[in-house]
Amino acid sequence: MKNFFLSVFFLFQINVVLADIEKIKFNGKIRYFSTLVNDYGVNYDDTRPGPVLDLHFTYPINEKLTVKSFNYIINYNDATSGDETVNTHFNQKLGLVYKLGRTIFFPYGKMEHHDENPKKQIDNSHLGLVVEQYFTKDLSISFDYREELSDGVVTRSGIRHSEKFLDLQFNKKNFVKINDRPVHLKIGYAESVNLRGIKTIKFVNEITDKIELNLKYIDNMGKGPIGSNNLSQNRDYLIAEIGYKF
C-alpha cells in the first residue's frame, strides 16, 4: 500500500511539472538583414547581409505576472577586437513582466557574450528596467534604462563608455495597411553614454502571418570624446529585413 501511495505521489508531481512546462510559450523568428546593423546602430558587418535568429520564451505566472526571456543570436566575423576573431554574438535578456492597468513594468538582467572574448573584454552584463505605457491596444510609449554591472568599457586613454544606456520608443501597431495587411511603426531615440545617440524609424510589414518585410533608417550621432570624431559612430544606415516566424 505504501508503494502505491508513493507511486501516486510521484505521478502527481510529474503531471504538475509537465503542466508547468506546457505553460511555456515559444516564439521564434529568422531574420535576414541587407546590412548587419541592429536597431541600435551596432555595426556587426556593414559590408554584407547576414542572418539573425530570435528565440523568445514566455512563462505566465498569473494574469499580471509573466517571466520573459529574449534571445538573439547573430552570426558575423569581427577581427577588430584584438587577439581573437569573434564569429557569434549572443544577446540575452531575462526579466519579470508586471502589468498594472495599461502600464507594464519589466525589470530585467541582460547579458551579451560571444564565442570568443578577447582581451578587449567585449562580453558584458546589465541590469535594467522598461516601463511601457499603453494609451490604446495599438499605441504605446516605452522607456528603457540599464546600467552595466562592470561599469562599462575603459579605453586606453581612461575614458569610460557604454556603462549607461537609455532608450525611448513610440510604437504604433496597424499604422497603415498594404494589401489589407498591417504595417507597424516604431520611432525611437537611444543613447549610449560617451559613445553615440541613435535615431531610428522602422516599418514592419506583415506580408503574411509568418512572413514580414521590414525597412529601417538609423541615424548614428557620435557623443563625447570617443564617438564625436569617430566615423563608425556617425554613420547612417537604410536597412531592409525579411523575417520568417516559427
- CB neighbour class for 4 (10 Å; exposed up to 12, middle 13-18, buried from 19): exposed
* pLDDT at residue 9, rounded to an integer: 46
The residues, any chain, with a CB within 8 Å of residue 219's CB and separated by 6 or more, are: 198, 199, 200, 236
**pLDDT of 71 over the 90 cut:** yes
Could you tell me if 194 and 211 are in contact, meaning their C-beta atoms sit under 8 angstroms apart?
A: no
Measured between alpha carbons, how far is residue 114 from residues 13, 97, 153 in Å?
A: 38, 27, 16
Could you tell me if 60 and 69 are in contact, meaning their C-beta atoms sit under 8 angstroms apart?
A: no
Q: Three-state SS for 72? A: strand
**pLDDT of 134 over the 80 cut:** yes
- Of 210, 202, 213, which Cα lies nearest the Cα of 178? 213
State residue 23 phi and psi, 5-degree precision. Answer: -75, -15
Distance, in Å, from the CA atom of 15 to the CA atom of 132, rounded to the nearest integer, reads 36
5 pLDDT tier (thresholds 50, 70, 90) = very low
**pLDDT of 245 over the 80 cut:** yes
pLDDT by residue (tens digit) across 151-203?
A: 555 555 556 656 789 999 999 999 999 999 999 999 999 998 777 899 999 99
In this structure, the strands spanning 236-245 and 25-33 are antiparallel
Residues 79, 121, 226: CA angle, nearest 5 degrees: 80
pLDDT by residue (tens digit) across 191-224?
A: 987 778 999 999 999 999 999 999 999 999 988 7
Q: Which domains does the chain have, with CATH numbers?
A: 24-245 (2.40.160.40)
Q: Three-state SS for 53? A: strand
* pLDDT at residue 2, rounded to an integer: 45
In this prediction the pTM is 0.83
Nine-digit cell string for 101: 492597468
